Amino acid sequence: MRQQVLDRLCSIDWTESLDHLAAHVSTDTEMPALLHALIETALLDCLARIDGTPLSTYLGGPHQTDIETNQCIFWCDRAAFEERAKRFVSEGFHDLKVRVGIGEFEEDVRRILWLKDQFSETVSIAADINGTWSAQKALAFLTAVESAKMDYVEQPTPAGDYAALRQILEDGGVPVMVDEGATSSADIETLIQMNGPLRIHLKAFKFGGPSRLLRAAKRLEEAAIPFMMGQMNEGGIATALAAHCALATGTPLRELYGAYGLISDPGSGISYDHGCVLIPDGPGLGMELQQETTNLIWEYPK
């Protein structure tokens, strides 16, 4: 990946204006998604800083510094699971997602039901299966936790298995959030054709940057399909980008915990309070780069 990044960086004419570079990158369909996202994010951050506006405003939306987000309890032992759940709720997070599909099926069920018993109506519960189950197993799980009245189940079946997804949409009884199965405009068009309580989890670095992400969001909005704006635990800069994109689109579904608890993050400026991510009120992403925590891989020749 490093060599691929270097080759692409060296192939770009950086003497062009930032506007020209951003327009060129946004229409480049050959560039790999991750690399496209890295370059486009840097260019848009720079353009918004020059404009003196937060990136969300530069992208056409409003700006605010406190944005509600969910939290995720990743796989851990039972004691840690309960401690994290209680801590998150005490910190004001009331939408909790639980990673399942790693340990025993029965333990996954017990954890969801424990959350419901512990927090009653004060917490919304979701389960993320990461595409590891068959439709039959996912449906058995949804039946077992029916009393918890989950808000949604995320990627219950493998990405691209549309027959399995259709079965969950028809028989699962809860909305289905597609994550790994939504990584391109082609995926979006296929998913739009499906009936049922569908939601889509959009992530900039999965799609290839803000421009591709916002086009997907607009298409989903036209189709009246709710979408979540999220990240992949990449740290503060990517989380700030997701927050600005969430504001630009106006979606109420947000997964912005990607900088929570990080100790050495190259991007500083994000914090969490009362169930919200707090982002800077400055131009662009508003973030500061801690260069001492990074490794320089290329510098434009002077």
Residues 4-47: tens digit of each pLDDT? 778 888 888 888 998 888 888 888 877 888 889 999 999 999 99
pLDDT at 4: 78
- Please check whether residue 302 lies inside any domain of the structure: no
pLDDT at 162: 98
Instruction: Give the pLDDT band (50/70/90) at residue 2.
Output: confident
Instruction: Write the CATH number for 275.
Output: 3.20.20.120
Give yes or no for a contact between 212 and 189, defined as CB atoms under 8 angstroms apart: no
As a whole number, mean pLDDT of residues 94-111 equals 98
Give yes or no for a contact between 232 and 203, defined as CB atoms under 8 angstroms apart: yes
pLDDT at 103: 95
Residues 225 and 222: their CA atoms lie apart, in Å, by 8
pLDDT at 296: 85
Q: What percent of the chain has pLDDT over 90?
A: 80
178 and 118 within one domain: yes
pLDDT tens digits, 238-252: 999 999 999 999 999
166 and 55 within one domain: no
pLDDT at 107: 98
Residues 254 and 16: their CA atoms lie apart, in Å, by 35
Q: Could you give phi then psi for residue 198, rounded to 5 degrees?
A: -100, 140
Domain tally for the chain?
A: 2
37 and 134 within one domain: no
- Please check whether residue 289 lies inside any domain of the structure: no
244 and 95 within one domain: yes
- Please check whether residue 292 lies inside any domain of the structure: no
252 and 158 within one domain: yes
User: For the range 142-150, what are the long-range contacts, defined as Cβ-Cβ under 8 Å and sequence gap of 24 or more?
Assistant: 142/168, 142/172, 142/173, 142/174, 144/109, 145/109, 145/112, 145/113, 146/173, 147/113, 147/116, 148/112, 148/113, 148/115, 148/116, 149/116, 149/125, 150/112, 150/125, 150/126, 150/174
118 and 50 within one domain: no
- pTM passes above 0.85: yes
Top pLDDT among 142 and 290 is at 142
169 and 210 within one domain: yes
Instruction: Give the pLDDT band (50/70/90) at residue 299.
Output: confident
71 and 52 within one domain: no
Structure tokens at 291: 């260069």
As a whole number, mean pLDDT of residues 74-89 equals 98
182 and 230 within one domain: yes
Range of the domain at 22: 2-59
pLDDT tens digits, 177-204: 999 999 999 999 999 999 899 999 999 9
